[in-house]
């Protein structure tokens, strides 16, 4: 598990935005992962996708790493943000925009506004 923990830490430290998910950004393997990847893709956020289904060690390792029981898990600039429900709420409230602005992550502000308008 130590090797997996080290790998996870390197992924989180080495990428501005990392999404640990079931499947990949192009082929998500669950609805929750699909939703978060879809939001990031639509907003034009450059992110590293990590398929936790690639190994049992990664699937359990990310849960142990964050002390969070579910996947997907979003990290921005090394900080754990949350899972699908939290990312959805942050997107709709504008908090995700604020986080990206504060951390210098590039995203499409018009796309973020369109998501909110479509869900108003």
pLDDT of 1 higher than 60: no
The Cα-based distances of 48 to 59, 71, 113 in angstroms read 16, 15, 23
Number of domains in the chain: 1
What was the pLDDT predicted at 56? 94
Structure tokens that stand for 16 in this block: 């501005």
Residues spanned by the domain of 12? 2-118
Structure tokens that stand for 93 in this block: 């409230």
Q: Output the 3-class SS for the chain.
A: CHHHHHHHHHHHHHCCEEEEECECCCCECCHHHHHHHHHHHHCCCCCEEEEHHHCHHHHHHHHHHHCCCCCCEEEECCEEEECHHHHHHHHHHCHHHHHHHHHCCCCCHHHHHHHHHHCC
Mean pLDDT, the chain, whole residue set: 96
Q: What is the pLDDT of residues 102-118, one digit of tens each?
A: 999 999 999 999 999 99
Annotated binding site for [2Fe-2S] cluster: 30
Q: What is the pLDDT of residues 33-43, one digit of tens each?
A: 999 999 999 99
Annotated binding site: 30
Q: What is the CATH number of the domain that holds 61?
A: 3.40.30.10
Q: What is the pLDDT of residues 57-85, one digit of tens each?
A: 999 999 999 999 999 999 999 999 999 99
What was the pLDDT predicted at 102? 97
Integer Cα distance of 56 and 53 in angstroms? 7
């Amino acid at each position: 598990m130590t090797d997996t923990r080290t790998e996870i830490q390197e992924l989180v430290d080495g990428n501005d935005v990392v999404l640990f998910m079931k499947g990949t950004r192009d082929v998500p393997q669950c609805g929750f992962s699909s939703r978060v990847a879809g939001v990031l893709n639509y907003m034009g956020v450059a992110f590293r996708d990590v398929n936790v289904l690639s190994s049992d060690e990664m699937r359990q390792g990310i849960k142990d790493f964050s002390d969070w029981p579910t996947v997907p898990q979003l990290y921005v600039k090394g900080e754990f943000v949350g899972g699908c429900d939290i990312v959805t709420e942050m997107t709709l409230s504008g908090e995700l925009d604020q986080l990206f602005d504060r951390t210098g992550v590039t995203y499409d502000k018009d796309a973020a506004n369109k998501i909110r308008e479509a869900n108003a």
